[in-house]
Structure 1
Amino acid sequence: MNKIFFAFTLLMLSKFHAQTWKTDEQYIQRFAPFAVEEMEKYKIPASITLAQGLLETGGGQSRLAQQGNNHFGIKCKEDWTGKTMKHTDDAPNECFRVYDDPRDSYEDHSKFLAYRPYYTKLFSLDMMDYKSWAHGLKKAGYATNPKYAYILIDKIEKNNLQEFDKTNSKEVLYTILKMYPDLKNDGVFMAKLDQSRSTSSPVTVKVPYEQVSYAKQQKNVEKIVSKAEILNAILIKSHPNEGLKFVIIQEDLELADVSKKFGISESRLSKWNELDGTQLKRNDILFLESKSSAGNVATYKAQVGESMHDISQKFGIKLKKLYAKNRMDEGQQPKSGQLIYLQSKKPRS
C-alpha cells in the first residue's frame, strides 16, 4: 500500500512540475518567443518585457500567472470586459485580468505601454538601450519601488536577456539554443526548432516609433505588420446573445484566412454570417457558429448608415428572422432612428 501511495505521489509531483517553471531559465526558454514577437510589433525591447515577466511572476510561479495567465499584474480597469480573478496586491481582493493564453497577456502588456500617454517618451529611446528603457519605465511611474530600474537591469544582465533584442521571431529559437546548449537533449524543444525551419521569414515593423503625439503613435501601432500577426491577434469572444462565439476582424482579410485559422469551412462561415463575398473588412463581426433566432434585447434604434445586416451581426440574430420580425422585405434597409424589433414581431399598424 505504501509503495502504491509513493508511486502515486511521484506521478502527481511530475504532473505538477510539468505545468510550472521552477527557474528563471525555464521561464525564459518558454516565453522569450512571445517577448520577441511583441518587440517586432510594438518596438518594446524583448529584454525589458521578459525581465518584467520574470519579476512579476517570480519565474512563472505566481498565482496570477498560473491561474490567470496574467504575467504582468495588469488589473481590470474600467475598459476590461474579459474574465477576472480576485488577488491581494496593493489592497485585499483586487480585480485582475484573466487571459485564455499567456500570449494574450504579453500582447496586453504591449498595448498597456503603447496606448497610454505616460509612456510615449519611451518609444523615442534606442531599442537596444535597455538601461534607458528601465529607467524610463520607473520615471513614467510604472512601479513604485525606487530600485525598480536597477532590479530590471540586474534581471537582464544576469540572464543575458539583451541577446533577445538582437534577434527576430524566426531566429529566436536558435538564440535560446545558443544560450542554453543543454536543450539539444530536449526532444520537445528540438522538434519545435525543426518546425521553425519551415516557417516564413518574419516581417518587421516598417514604420518605427518616433516622438510624436499619442494619437499618431496609437495609429502607428495599429498598422499591419503581417497577415500572420493579424490572425494571431484575432481572439474568440462570447456574445451576450446566448454566448455565441464570434470574432472581430482586426484588419482587412480574406474569409479563407479566418477559415484556415479556426478550422471552419468558408461555406459555413459565409452561411452563418450571410456574406455576399469573401472579403472581410476591419471591425467586421464574424460568428463562428449559427446565429440565434432572436436578440438578447427587445428593440434597438437604427443608427445612421446601419444596414439590417449590420444590426443582425451586432445582436447575433439571423438576418431572415430580423426581416420577418420587422415585417420588412429582404434587401430593405432601416432609416436612422427606426425602431428595430429583435425578439417579437413588430405589431401590425
Structure 2
Amino acid sequence: MKRLFLLVSLLVLSKFSAQTWATEDQYIQKFAKYAVEEMEKYKIPASITLAQGLLETGGGQSRLAQEGKNHFGIKCKEDWTGKTMKHTDDAPNECFRVYDDPRQSYEDHSLFLSTRKYYANLFNLDMKDYKAWAHGLKKAGYATNPRYASILISKIEKYRLYEFDETNSKEALYAVLKMYPDLKDDRTFMAQLQPEKYTKKAKEAVTVEVPYKQTSYAQQQKRVEKIKTKAEILNSILIKSHPNDGLKYIIIPEDTNVQFIAKKFKISESKLIKWNELDNDMLKKNEIVFLESKNSDGNTATYKAEYGEDMHDIAQKFGIKLNKLYAKNRMDEGQKPSAGQLIYLIDKKPRN
C-alpha cells in the first residue's frame, strides 16, 4: 500500500513539475502571439521581437515590464504624450513610457523601428534572416553592448524562436503548443485554441490579462509605504551606485532639507551643497543628491534634453559637474536647453 501511495505521489509530482516553467519559457508562451502579429503588420521577424522582449524584461520580471507594461525599454522622447514612469537606466530617474497593456508596448516597438531613419536599412533584409537582423540592429545603434547581436542570436537559437518566423497569427498558439507540448494540460491555454469546448465563464477568464504570481519589490514597497511615517521613509534611504563610474548617490523619497541628509550620512552641509550645486537647503521628493563629488564626464556621449529640464537636472541625472556640462555645450551659466536639444556629456573630439 505504501509503495502504491509513493508511486501515485511521484506521478503527481512529475506532472506538476512538467508544467513549472522557467520565467523565459513563460514569457515565450505568453507573448509569442504578439510578436507574430507584429511581424505580419510591420515585417519585423517575430524571433527578433521576442528575443528583444526576453532580453529587455529578464523574462518578464523587470520593473518596467511589470509596472509599466514596457517590454522594450522605450524612453519617453519628446513626442510621447502618454503615461510615464521614472526608472534608472543610463542615469537615475529617466523617463520611460507606460502602457495600459503589453500589446501596446509591442506595437510601439514596431513603430519605433519602422518610423526611424536609423533602422530603415533593416527592412531591406530577408525577414527570415534573424542573424542579419540582429547584426543590423547593433550596427544601427539600437544598443551599446558590443555583444548585443550575439546575445539575441543565442536566445533565438536556445529557444528555437526562429520557428515563429514561419507561422502566422492564426497559428501562433499552435506553434507554442508544439514547442511546449505539456501545455495541453493547461486548460487556460487550451481554451484559447478551442474556446467552444469551455463554458462562457471559462472563456471570459481567458480574456483577462493574467499577471505573474510573483509580486515585484516595488509593489511590495508601495504597500509598506502607505503605513510608514515621513520620518520612517526618510530614515530608510539607501545609498545607490550611479552608472557613471559608481558614484554614490541617493534619491530623496520625501521633501526634506540638506541638514537632515548631512546628519544622516555624516557629511558636511557645505560639501553636499557644493557637490550638488544647490542654491538653497531644501530638497524635493525624487531629487537626486550625490554623496561625493561628481565627475567631469558622463557615462554616455550625448543626451536629448526632455521638455522642462534645465542643465542642473541633466547634470544630476548623469553625475556631471554643472560647470563642465555648460562648457562642453558652449552654453552660458543659467542658459536652458530646448526640448530635444542634443546635449554633449563627453567632450567632442577635435577635428583634424
Q: What TM-score does the superposition give when structure 1 sets the normalisation length?
A: 0.50
Q: What TM-score does the superposition give when structure 2 sets the normalisation length?
A: 0.49
